[in-house]
């Protein structure tokens, strides 16, 4: 028997006798993060960590904004695509004041470098610099190669959504908001936002996306700030959209984590709702009680990663949750100025860093215990002691 044939038979035998050696089904992954808020102290942190390149004065790290995301970027870059809630406009002269947001365009370069290549602009702050500011934001997003969903200069663009495809699986993204700080732009205006409560229009978008995708994700900006559970009316409407064909709803706006649910539609299809992912990055610091657990902080959040595989003719989802927190510490700049160093970080990475030191110091033990407590609070907020077989927490 020729050697080539013998080798082929051995390989075939290995696949038959040892099924675990078979190649895993190919699919795709999507990560989701919560509210991206450029409060003034967050922007100050970036500016004071700017690294200029030589004598040119050109920044080597996107005006310091890279610093904000450098500890969480390796986690986000593991996914094929990451969606975040861009809760600020980018509009010259790029200045802001409390509760009226704005930011320099370098932040978009930092977000893209960290793996966030898709954002929803359907939120209550996208019009903080009025319609011209929202339109300018779209120009900057396009320039940095970041896709957007939830709004646009025309009704058609706002409704179009975005389809991401890999390994023969198509994920369709649509987005809407139920809260806004001013008023919804007129339908015949120069800028459009998808309205969560305009059910007929949203059902039309879902129908259109069914024809273009295998799995539909809807980002919803709704609810009441700082409540640890969804409003009943909002939850009911989200379930209606799930029943109609949305496979995954990702919520924003409350600034704190809220529970995840796995529900069964009347047609037998399962769908999931993450009512709120809380803040991905901000300068907020309030605490809010949840049942039988330490308080939940506006600095507690999670990176939720969706894994999709095609099996038995259908697309199957599973989710991995990485608990994160916003590190917010007062530090001293080389100039002598004190400022807040603000960075989202995976809590497991912090614990691993402590363990790698091999220190027996009591302070290190205390820090590790506090971090473990934060992880348990996040688990409590999302699952409340329940088990969902499609959802697991990362143990690394």
Q: What is the pLDDT of residues 229-253, one digit of tens each?
A: 999 999 999 999 999 999 999 999 9
CA distance 172 to 176: 14
Contacting residues for 221 by C-beta, under 8 A, at least 6 apart: 85, 120, 122, 123, 124, 150, 175, 176, 177, 178, 179, 196, 251, 252, 253
Helices and strands in the chain, H and E counts: 11, 21
pLDDT, average across residues 26-34: 96
Residue reference for tokens 């896709």: 147
User: What pLDDT was estimated at residue 336?
Assistant: 87
User: What pLDDT was estimated at residue 365?
Assistant: 84
In a domain, 282, yes or no: yes
Phi, psi of 112 (to 5 degrees): -65, -40
Q: Give how far Cα 59 sits from Cα of 94, 137, 226, 315, Å.
A: 17, 21, 37, 44
DSSP code string of 81-145: EEEEEE-S---TT---BTTB----THHHHHHHHTTEEEEE--STTTTTTHHHHHHHHHHHHHHTT
Please give the structure tokens belonging to residue 178.
Answer: 């139920």
In a domain, 13, yes or no: no
Q: Is the pTM of this model over 0.85?
A: yes
pLDDT, average across residues 191-204: 97
pLDDT tier, 54 (very low <50, low <70, confident <90, very high otherwise): low
CA distance 1 to 231: 71
pLDDT tier, 52 (very low <50, low <70, confident <90, very high otherwise): confident
User: What pLDDT was estimated at residue 24?
Assistant: 39
In a domain, 2, yes or no: no
In a domain, 16, yes or no: no
pLDDT of 300 over the 60 cut: yes
- Torsion angle of C-alpha atoms 43, 135, 163, 221, degrees rounded to 10: 60
In a domain, 27, yes or no: yes
**DSSP designation for 265:** -
In a domain, 232, yes or no: yes
pLDDT, average across residues 247-260: 98
Indicate if the alpha-carbon torsion angle 71, 76, 77, 83 is positive or negative: negative
Please give the structure tokens belonging to residue 318.
Answer: 């599973």
CA distance 134 to 127: 6
In a domain, 97, yes or no: yes
CA distance 301 to 35: 10
In a domain, 364, yes or no: yes
pLDDT of 314 over the 90 cut: no
Name 170's bridge partners: 165
List the CATH number of the domain containing 312.
3.60.21.10
Q: pLDDT tens digit string along 101-114?
A: 999 999 999 999 99
Among 344, 176, 343, 179, smallest CA distance to 254 is for 179
DSSP code string of 266-319: TTS-EEEEE--B-EEE-S---EE--TTSSPEETTEEEEEEEEEEEETTEEEEEE
CA distance 263 to 269: 8
Q: Total domain count for the chain?
A: 1
pLDDT tier, 188 (very low <50, low <70, confident <90, very high otherwise): low
Other CB atoms within 10 Å distance of the CB of residue 58: 9
Of the chain, the percentage scoring pLDDT greater than 70 comes to 92
Domain coverage including residue 366:
21-393
DSSP three-state, residue 337 = coil
DSSP three-state, residue 220 = strand
Long-range contacts of 322-325 (CB under 8 A, 24+ apart): 322/75, 322/346, 322/348, 322/393, 322/394, 323/347, 323/348, 323/374, 323/375, 323/378, 323/379, 323/393, 324/72, 324/75, 324/280, 325/297, 325/299, 325/300, 325/301, 325/374
Q: What DSSP element (H or E) covers 160?
A: helix 155-160
């Amino acid at each position: 028997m020729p050697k080539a044939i013998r080798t082929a038979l051995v390989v075939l035998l290995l696949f038959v006798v040892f099924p675990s050696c078979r190649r895993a089904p190919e699919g795709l992954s999507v990560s989701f993060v919560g509210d991206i808020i450029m409060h003034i102290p967050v922007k100050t942190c970036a500016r004071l960590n700017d690294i200029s390149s030589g004598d040119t004065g050109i920044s080597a790290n996107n005006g310091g904004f890279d610093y904000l995301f450098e500890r969480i970027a390796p986690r986000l870059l593991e996914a094929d695509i990451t969606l975040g809630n861009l809760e600020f406009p980018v509009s010259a002269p790029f200045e802001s004041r409390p509760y009226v947001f704005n930011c320099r365009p370098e932040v978009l370069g930092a977000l893209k470098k960290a793996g966030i290549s898709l954002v929803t602009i359907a939120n209550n702050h996208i019009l903080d610099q009025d319609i011209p500011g929202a339109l300018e934001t779209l120009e900057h997003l396009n320039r940095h190669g970041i896709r957007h969903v939830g709004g646009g200069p025309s009704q058609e663009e706002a409704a179009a959504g975005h389809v991401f495809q890999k390994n023969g699986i198509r994920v369709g993204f649509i987005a809407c908001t139920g809260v806004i700080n001013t008023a919804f732009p007129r339908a015949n205006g120069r800028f459009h936002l998808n309205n969560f409560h305009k059910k007929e229009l949203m059902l039309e978008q879902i129908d259109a996306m069914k024809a273009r995708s295998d799995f539909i994700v809807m980002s919803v900006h709704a609810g009441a700030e700082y409540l640890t559970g969804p409003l009943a009316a909002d939850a009911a409407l989200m379930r209606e959209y799930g029943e109609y064909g949305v496979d995954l709803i990702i919520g924003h706006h409350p600034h704190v984590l809220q529970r995840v649910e796995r529900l069964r539609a009347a047609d037998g299809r399962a769908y999931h709702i993450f009512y709120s992912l809380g803040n991905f990055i901000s300068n907020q610091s309030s605490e809010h009680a949840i049942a039988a657990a330490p308080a939940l902080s506006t600095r507690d959040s999670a990176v939720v990663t969706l894994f999709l595989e095609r099996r038995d003719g259908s697309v199957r989802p599973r989710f991995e949750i990485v608990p994160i927190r916003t590190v917010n510490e007062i530090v001293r700049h080389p100039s002598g100025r004190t400022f807040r160093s603000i960075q989202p970080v995976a809590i497991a990475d912090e614990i691993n860093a402590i363990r790698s030191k091999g220190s027996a110091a009591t302070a290190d033990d205390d820090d590790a215990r506090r971090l473990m407590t934060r992880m348990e609070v996040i688990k409590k907020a999302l699952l409340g002691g329940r088990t969902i077989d499609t959802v697991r927490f990362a143990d690394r």
